[in-house]
Amino acid sequence: MKTVSAKAVECSYNYYKITPQKISEQAGIVLFSLIFYVVYTMWYGFAIMYMFEGAGLDIGH
């Protein structure tokens, strides 16, 4: 029962031939991914905002 519970919770078991690793082993890749995600999301959001402003719609708080 313990292995079934662990495999149900552990997401890495869903991918064939992927061994579970500690996140600290890949800290550089994880940090880069998070920073890239935030910057890209903000860039995309500002692009949408400027498109609406160019169309004459004003977005405000």
- State mean pLDDT over 23-52: 94
Is residue 42 assigned to a domain? yes
Is residue 6 assigned to a domain? no
Is residue 1 assigned to a domain? no
52 SS3 class: helix
Q: Residue 10: its pLDDT value, please? A: 62
Is residue 40 assigned to a domain? yes
In Å, what is the CA distance from 49 to each residue of 20, 28, 37, 43, 56?
40, 32, 18, 10, 11
Does 46 or 6 have the greater pLDDT score? 46
| pTM, 2 dp | 0.59
- State mean pLDDT over 38-42: 98
Count the domains in the chain. 1
Does 33 or 23 have the greater pLDDT score? 33
Residue 19 has pLDDT above 90, yes or no: no
Is residue 9 assigned to a domain? no
